[in-house]
Structure 1
Amino acid sequence: MSKSIGHMIASSNPQKVLPKNISAKNIPDVLIHEIIDGVPLYRKGYREVLAKTKTVEEIMGCSSLQFFIIDYILGILYPVINRQKYIIATNEAGLHLDRRNNLSGDIMIFDKNVLTIDKIDTHYSQVHPMISIEIDLDVELERFTENGYITIKTQKLLDFGTDKVIWFLTKPKSVMIATKDNDWRTFSWDQDIEMLDGICCNVGKYLKEKGSEFA
């Protein structure tokens, strides 16, 4: 994948953006997962919440496959990462890029020399992570294609100052790695992926070892 963000942004098969008789101003903020260029991106399943067939709590969490992969990655990171140097953020850690852009992430690794104690408060971080790791998409794809969303979010993170963005995508069983100074690469997840400082993971191999049908 190249660095261009001009391709595959708009959905080729756009859905109705909102349910009938529902306007954006009537949608609770809790159903907004992210904001990109001033446009709210809603959580997967928000339509069911508006239709009262699901509760907010039922759509808030990630899938068991997603948290299984997150647990695996964190299990590698925590024992060996330099905790004096880095902070690991999880649980939909929020980033405030500017007044028109709020993003969230599954796993973010911050440099403590950048995210200093005086920058830690009760709001979204206004400091860029060194590494952002994403497992699948958690938004309804109404304004973007999947590739378009991944591309624009990745570019936003890199422009904000993130050194590396890693996407693990469970349906194609692939990994996409993007860095500031190199072409973006996509390949099978059945190989070692360096997260930082020589710390690697291999999601495909791990799932096979555990006997997962998704390996």
Structure 2
Amino acid sequence: MIASPRPGFDIPENALEKSIPTSLIREIIDGKPYYYKGYQEVLAGNVNEEGVMGCSILQSFIVAYLVRVLLRSIDEDRYLIASNEPGLHIDKKNNLSSDILVFDYNVLTIDEINLRYAQVPPIISVEVDTRIELENVAESKYVAMKTMKLLNFGVKKVIWFFTETKQIMIATPGNWATFGWDHEVALMPGALCNVGQYLRSKGSKYA
């Protein structure tokens, strides 16, 4: 295993392409690296690494809204709302990242809060768009593969928000469904959001 510049993100040696810095890897799934969207621009010298690791302001706007909904609705003494691209280390071949993870402190105990990726399952995982370079895999296949990894790890609910198609995918064990932008989503019991309605209320052209 090779240690990435990101703490807790270990990379199988056979996953590496020597010409690509390990810092440009966003995730490892089944030993295969998935690079940040736009990483070729870094390799070409057109932008620096930070220029492809960040998300768009629209994605940040939506994530901030979802975090506020959660903060208003859940018991912070029981649950941790982790944002800023928190990572999950499932096993030596699988390191995943999300936009928001919600952990139960009964599962993520204080001893599990350290300088590495979390190694216990959150209750929910939320992502706004894929944010990886889709080179040899269709987006739908990547989304399904990652979602299944999360559910098999023990995540109770996986939610995707897609800004381009204005769709939402909600997956729980045995039940996957896709909805339009205006569908009301229960992030957690009592934590209801409606992204399309929220964007409209703010006058966004992306509603």
Pair in the same fold by TM > 0.5:
yes
The amino acid that maps onto 1:210 is K
Cα distance, 1:120 vs. partner?
1.3
Specify the alignment match of 1:24 in structure 2.
17
Point out where structure 2 has 5 or more consecutive residues left out of the alignment.
1-15
Is the contact between residue 184 and residue 193 of structure 2 (CA under 8 Å) also seen in structure 1? yes
Instruction: From 181, 184, 188, give the equivalent of 1:192.
Output: 184
The amino acid that maps onto 1:158 is L
Question: Does residue 137 of structure 1 match 2:130?
Answer: yes
Task: Give the Cα–Cα distance (whole angstroms) in 2 for the partners of residues 191 and 149 of structure 1.
Answer: 23
The amino acid that maps onto 1:186 is T
Identical counterparts, % of pairs: 53
Specify the alignment match of 2:3 in structure 1.
none
Specify the alignment match of 2:37 in structure 1.
44
RMSD over aligned CA atoms reads 1.0
Cα distance, 1:143 vs. partner?
2.7
Specify the alignment match of 1:78 in structure 2.
71
Aligned residues: 192
Specify the alignment match of 1:3 in structure 2.
none
Q: What are the superposed Cα offsets for residues 39-96 of structure 1, whole Å, 9 maximum, x if unpaired?
A: 1000011100000011111111100110000011111111221011100111110100
Question: Does residue 172 of structure 1 match 2:165?
Answer: yes
Point out where structure 1 has 5 or more consecutive residues left out of the alignment.
1-22
Specify the alignment match of 1:203 in structure 2.
195
The amino acid that maps onto 1:159 is N
Cα distance, 1:194 vs. partner?
0.4
Provide the TM-score with structure 1 as the length reference: 0.87
Task: Give the Cα–Cα distance (whole angstroms) in 2 for the partners of residues 143 and 157 of structure 1.
Answer: 21
Which structure carries more relative contact order (alpha carbon 8 Å, separation 6+)?
Answer: 1
